[in-house]
A and B are shown apart, each in its own frame.
Chain A
Amino acid sequence: DQQVKQNSPSLSVQEGRISILNCDYTNSMFDYFLWYKKYPAEGPTFLISISSIKDKNEDGRFTVFLNKSAKHLSLHIVPSQPGDSAVYFCAASRANSGYALNFGKGTSLLVTP
């Protein structure tokens, strides 16, 4: 049963505009959320994270928002650049499973010039 869901398989955005990637989760025990970026045939690289005690975390062009009551988080990329084109995975973890990450299926972002 998928506990972390990314319902948009793909997203296309023009360069310079905002990219918004969404993620929903079902397990209220998750207390840490992460976003990873992945290129084909490579391992994911960590992008940004947020603890469940916060509702926003910002790092440069990347901001993650967490709405615990809705069990929803989103990643905003502003401004989007062609180099941001990749698959973005949302992940969540909780203490009683060894902090192993539960991943969504990913959203493929294409930023066009």
Chain B
Amino acid sequence: DGGITQSPKYLFRKEGQNVTLSCEQNLNHDAMYWYRQDPGQGLRLIYYSQIVNDFQKGDIAEGYSVSREKKESFPLTVTSAQKNPTAFYLCASSPPTVMNTEAFFGQGTRLTVV
């Protein structure tokens, strides 16, 4: 089955530790995105990548880093520089970026930093 997979679903980390969230897709999509959702907030864009080995900062990139070494994978690292890392993180992908189209989302990872 084609889809986009985020793992793990729940993640706990101690303050000051870096943590990497996984996102894998087998939809052959070129573009991938990371969003963050906080209670009562919409989804805010952290980073996006339109093609392998290239990515762009979104609206709230500070304290995060990404890589796009493979088309299928777009891991997000939440670094210790991120001041409020506890949130629900969503990864998405979409077909070739030559046109507007819908993005497909994973099931999300809830990160809790204690």
Which residues of A pack against B, CB within 8 Å?
2, 4, 6, 9, 31-32, 34, 36, 41-46, 49, 51, 89, 91, 93, 95, 98-106
Contacts and interface: CB of A to CB of B under 8 A. Distances in A.
Interface of B: 4, 6, 31, 33, 35, 40-45, 48, 50, 56, 58, 88, 90, 92, 94, 97, 99-108, 110
Contacts of A43: 4, 6, 90, 92, 105-108
Contact of A99 (B31, B43, B44): B31
Contacts of A6: 42
Contacts of B103: 46, 101
B97 A98 contact: yes
Given A41-B108, A98-B56, A100-B33, A9 B40 contact: yes
Contacts of A31: 100
B30 to A, nearest CB: 10
A98 B104 contact: no
A36 B105 CA distance: 10
B100 A105 contact: no
21 contacts: A4-B42, A31-B100, A36-B105, A43-B4, A43-B6, A43-B106, A44-B43, A44-B90, A45-B105, A46-B102, A46-B103, A49-B100, A95-B100, A98-B31, A98-B48, A98-B97, A99-B94, A99-B100, A100-B45, A101-B43, A101-B103
> Which of A31, A93, A99 is packed against the most chain B CB atoms within 10 Å?
A99
> Which of A36, A45, A101, A104 is packed against the most chain B CB atoms within 10 Å?
A101
Contacts of A46: 102-104
Contacts of A106: 42
A42 B100 contact: no
